[in-house]
Structure 1
Amino acid sequence: MGRIYTSNKYALPRKVPWVMKQTWNDILLLHYPVKKERLEIYLPPNLSLDTFQGTGWMTIVPYLMKSAGIRGLPSIPMGKGMPGINVRTYVKAGEKPGIYFLNLGIHQRFAAKLAKELFHLPYFSADLSFSKKGKMIEVESRKFPFSLSCQIRVQTSSFVMEKGSLGEWLLERYCFYTANPKGKLLRCDIFHDPWLLQDAEIIGLENHILRTFNIKPESSLPILHYSRQLHVHLWPPVSVK
């Protein structure tokens, strides 16, 4: 019998199987508090900004895609990993919270084109470099719209987010929303185990991505989360009624 996919908050589709799986390694999540009116202007109709204690959040996520595969076919290994990055905010349609991607980049033109066609996401080809030496991780991206330089030091201790915390609110989401070329709101359900995080600290950071959206965060120093690996399954887009 196949695995039963259930999130700790929301039921996932049972009649329709997942269509894609991915494994991400060395995931950095840089969270910035932002005034909600600065984010609401980027959302499509029928999608509301989700806030934590009245504040909106914007997160920049560099990572390494270690493998990816379509259902029914073997996963494609990617050696040391293909660098990717996404810029997201937090939303809800009705009472179901999720993620809305402001833009995404990946270090491979074909992969960017495929993801854009399958999931109607704003993908770009990105010029990213990702290096890891011991406990140090360095991410560099100089190509618009992903101008970022970040260095972090990872610790060995690991933990999961406490229930009701800001971290759980940011991370434990099981769908993302997007819109097709006609403007129809769509939802893609996702599954992953709860995030297992490791303590990490920012050593150096130069971030110009927020300028792309004319956003000045409430704090110039983001909250950092780091996870060594995450396995993700994605369902096909469905219309939001």
Structure 2
Amino acid sequence: MVSLAAEQRVRLPALAAGWLTQTFVHWPFRTDQVQRLLPEGLTVDEYEGAAWVSFTPFLMADVRPAVLPGATPGLPTFPETNLRTYVRGPDGRDGLWFLSIEVGNPLMLAARAVGAPYNPGRLSLTHDGDVVRYSGARRGGSPSYEVAVRPGRPLTPTQRDVWLTSRWRAYTRRLGMLWETPVEHEPWSLRAAVLERFEETVTRAAGLPPPEAEPVVHFSEGVRQVRMGASRPLSPSRPAH
């Protein structure tokens, strides 16, 4: 069951970071359209009979090895944009599978070693009055996106809001195996949001058809106490706990 608060403590984190100024743009898709993009061992996690895909631009802040004290500066803040979907692993537990990750800091490309699909590019995040603007283009110029979002009132999260925004593990694939990375942070503080501009080719590049429904949009000022654990390989028969 998806929960607002972290499902587990990450007692020995590998990395610490903040995820700030985050917009979530979510669409429902037919389950078969998403399942065909997943590796063996993962199945689509449905909500109300649909698979969901989320486009999430944000700022990565103060990324550093967790062994360093909190007062130690991490990497300079930089934009990142994820295209992700919601899955269940071999043991039935819910998590995220990243269809693509666009990043403006080349140092993050080291995460490809654990199977994360990072793509280098030129990304920006700016403020224009009450509007937050995100833009990016992968190296070579495509795919790309231009997004302008106007945050609105604070939300008391519904069950769907929590389901779409709160996940406490991510899956990757490398060396022929699935790997699980646990995550812990404070609950998201969500606001309603309106898209004033949204143009992107990232979903098409990932192998998805055009969305058939209007998106659900959220905004958050972010979470600052993100603790990411070390990735561990999964056995198809590993029991849930």
Band of TM-score, shorter chain: 0.7 to 0.9
Q: How does 1:1-241 map to 2 (within 5 A)?
A: 8=5, 10-12=7-9, 17-73=12-68, 74-76=72-74, 78=76, 81-93=77-89, 94-112=91-109, 114-117=110-113, 119-143=114-138, 145-155=142-152, 157-162=153-158, 165-180=159-174, 182-212=175-205, 213-219=207-213, 221-231=214-224, 232-241=226-235
For the residue of structure 1 that corresponds to 2:13, the secondary structure is: coil
For the residue of structure 1 that corresponds to 2:210, the secondary structure is: coil
For the residue of structure 1 that corresponds to 2:28, the secondary structure is: strand
Inter-CA distance 46–146: structure 2 relative to 1 (3 Å threshold): same
- In the TM superposition, residue 223 of structure 1 has moved relative to its aligned partner by 1.1
Query: Which moved further from structure 2: 69-78 or 18-27?
Result: 69-78
Aligned counterparts of 1:235 and 1:99: Cα–Cα separation in 2: 15
Aligned counterparts of 2:92 and 2:147: Cα–Cα separation in 1: 35
Aligned counterparts of 1:95 and 1:10: Cα–Cα separation in 2: 14
The one-letter code sitting in structure 2 at the alignment partner of 1:99 is: L
For the residue of structure 2 that corresponds to 1:218, the secondary structure is: coil
Identify unmatched segments of 5+ residues in structure 1.
1-5
| TM, length-normalised to structure 2 | 0.86
Identify unmatched segments of 5+ residues in structure 2.
236-241
CA contact (8 A) 2:191 2:218 kept: yes
Aligned counterparts of 2:53 and 2:22: Cα–Cα separation in 1: 16
For the residue of structure 1 that corresponds to 2:79, the secondary structure is: strand
Inter-CA distance 7–34: structure 2 relative to 1 (3 Å threshold): closer
- In the TM superposition, residue 170 of structure 1 has moved relative to its aligned partner by 1.3
Aligned counterparts of 2:9 and 2:178: Cα–Cα separation in 1: 18
CA contact (8 A) 1:146 1:209 kept: yes
CA contact (8 A) 2:10 2:228 kept: no
Which digits, 9 at most, give the CA deviation of each residue in 1:76-109, with x for residues without a partner? 152xx31111110000112210000011011021
Aligned counterparts of 2:169 and 2:73: Cα–Cα separation in 1: 22
- In the TM superposition, residue 218 of structure 1 has moved relative to its aligned partner by 2.4
Inter-CA distance 141–8: structure 2 relative to 1 (3 Å threshold): closer
Identity %: 23
For the residue of structure 2 that corresponds to 1:111, the secondary structure is: helix
Inter-CA distance 160–173: structure 2 relative to 1 (3 Å threshold): farther
Inter-CA distance 13–158: structure 2 relative to 1 (3 Å threshold): same
CA contact (8 A) 1:35 1:217 kept: no
The one-letter code sitting in structure 2 at the alignment partner of 1:234 is: M
| TM, length-normalised to structure 1 | 0.86
